[in-house]
């Protein structure tokens, strides 16, 4: 596990950018865990920045999915309001797209769809600007985490 403390939304955004730029090419799913207002979407803004997304990134809480075009497609899923996996959404195609990059907020809602290889990031609200960000991987990629 690797831990960071960010002291502003700008630092959280820059950490998201750094994370995605350091990822090995086969890692294309990031799971974000944290309470409401812990910084999940702010971190995703940095991931989008690292992927060359030019449009405004905001939370897809009410739409479940937002798609952004950059160097790779960014699929931003916010599953807070989802009660169970619905066949109407076809989320698998976004999660399994190796040519895209998927960020999943509230991944516990789709545990059955999570691939075997992923990065898990837990965000904890410490105060108005400060966040604790803890990063683990599905298969202990210590080498990759040392590049952060």
pLDDT in tens, 55-65: 999 887 677 89
The CATH class of 2-146 is alpha beta
- Residue 32's nearest CA partner among 127, 131, 126 is 131
Question: Do 123 and 49 contact (CB within 8 A), yes or no?
Answer: no
Q: Whole-number mean pLDDT of the chain?
A: 87
| Exposed/middle/buried for residue 84 (C-beta within 10 Å: 0-12, 13-18, 19+) | exposed
- Residue-wise pLDDT tens digits, 8-67: 999 999 999 999 999 888 889 999 999 988 999 999 999 999 999 999 998 876 778 999
| Range of 95-99, 109-113, 120-124, 138-142 with top mean pLDDT | 120-124
Kind and range of the H or E element at 48?
Answer: helix 40-50
Q: Give me the residue spans of the domains in the chain.
A: 2-146
Q: Does 68 have pLDDT greater than 80?
A: yes
């Amino acid at each position: 596990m690797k831990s960071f403390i960010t002291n502003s939304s700008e630092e959280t955004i820059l950490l998201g950018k750094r994370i995605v730029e350091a990822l090995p090419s086969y890692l294309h799913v990031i799971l974000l865990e944290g309470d409401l207002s812990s910084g999940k979407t702010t971190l995703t803004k940095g991931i989008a920045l690292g992927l060359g997304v030019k449009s405004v990134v905001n939370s897809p809480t009410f739409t479940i999915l937002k798609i952004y075009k950059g160097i790779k497609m960014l699929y931003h899923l916010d599953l807070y309001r989802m009660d169970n996996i619905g066949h109407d959404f076809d989320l698998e195609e976004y999660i399994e797209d190796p040519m895209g990059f998927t960020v999943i907020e509230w991944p516990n809602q789709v545990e059955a769809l999570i691939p075997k290889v992923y990065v898990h990031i837990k965000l904890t609200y410490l105060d108005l600007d400060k966040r604790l960000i803890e990063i683990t991987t599905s298969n202990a990629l210590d080498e990759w985490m040392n590049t952060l």
